[in-house]
Amino acid sequence: MLELSMHILDIAQNSLAAGSTRVEIRIWENLPEDLLVIEVKDNGRGIPGEMLSRVMDPFVTSRTTRPVGLGLSLLKEAAERCEGCLEVHSEEGRGTKVVARFRLDHFDRAPLGDMGATMGILISGNPEVDFLYEHQVDGQTYGLETGEMRKILGPIGLDDPSVLRFVQQDIQTGLKKIGAATFPKIMEVLR
């Protein structure tokens, strides 16, 4: 996958397949520590202990563990390619937390991609699920929560096309404002 937003979409779809009613997506960009962290946390049915050790094995997961798919092993590879790592924490019946760490300024780190489109697809395709998206860049935060949106929208559903447009635009302008999705040192070459 060429963009992190595609990985995030994939992992969040695992969460939905596991029956989650709430999915929290958090991204931290830490410039001083040259670190980018992605966390996807859900309240789905979780992964049984004996399966948890195998979820990142592409040969096992693609065949036997249907709800998990190939996504985790691809994300693991993407993280390790740029000196990062992947952790999966899960408790049966409680939920799963996937944490991927990347070196922020690594040439082989995939760019963030279109988080507006990813969140738009997730929210409008699953209007009954609660989504949280929080993105932090050195202490500055952008956030979007469907619970709050529902209160404001009233009778308009989260699957209304106008909501999809709002989500995409709000995320794009919000991320720009906090200076997200950068490769600060690499960009110095282009000054």
Partner 1 sequence: MKLKDLAERLGWELKTRNVPLEAEVQTGYSSDLLSDVLANSIEGDLWVTRQTHLNIVAIAVMRDLSGILLANGAEPDPDTLEKAAEKMVPIFRTTLPTFEVVGRLYQLGVTGAR
Rounded to whole angstroms, the Cα distance separating 126 from 181 reads 26
Strand ranges in 19-64 using DSSP code E only, listed in sequence order: 22-30, 35-42
C-beta of residue 91 within 8 angstroms of C-beta of residue 97? no
Q: Minimum Å distance from CB 112 to partner 1?
A: 9
Which of helix, strand or coil describes residue 49? helix
Q: Which is nearer to partner 1, 23 or 110 (by Cβ)?
A: 110
For position 103 contacting partner 1 by CB under 8 A, the verdict is: no
Q: Which is nearer to partner 1, 94 or 176 (by Cβ)?
A: 176
- 175 backbone φψ class: left, alpha, beta (φ>0; ψ -120 to 50): alpha
- Restricted to residues 32-51, the positions that interact with partner 1 (CB under 8 A) are none
Closest CA to 92 of 43, 45, 42, 22: 45
**From candidates 111, 143, 157, 179, binder to partner 1 by CB under 8 A:** 111
For position 77 contacting partner 1 by CB under 8 A, the verdict is: no
Strands 35-42 and 22-30: antiparallel
- The residue range among 4-12, 90-98, 104-112, 131-139 that interacts with partner 1, by the rule CB under 8 A, is 104-112
- The residue range among 42-50, 101-109, 124-132, 142-150 that interacts with partner 1, by the rule CB under 8 A, is 101-109
- Restricted to residues 126-185, the positions that interact with partner 1 (CB under 8 A) are 183
Kindly list the residues in this chain that would bind partner 1 in the complex (CB under 8 A).
2, 81, 106-108, 111, 183, 186-187, 189-190
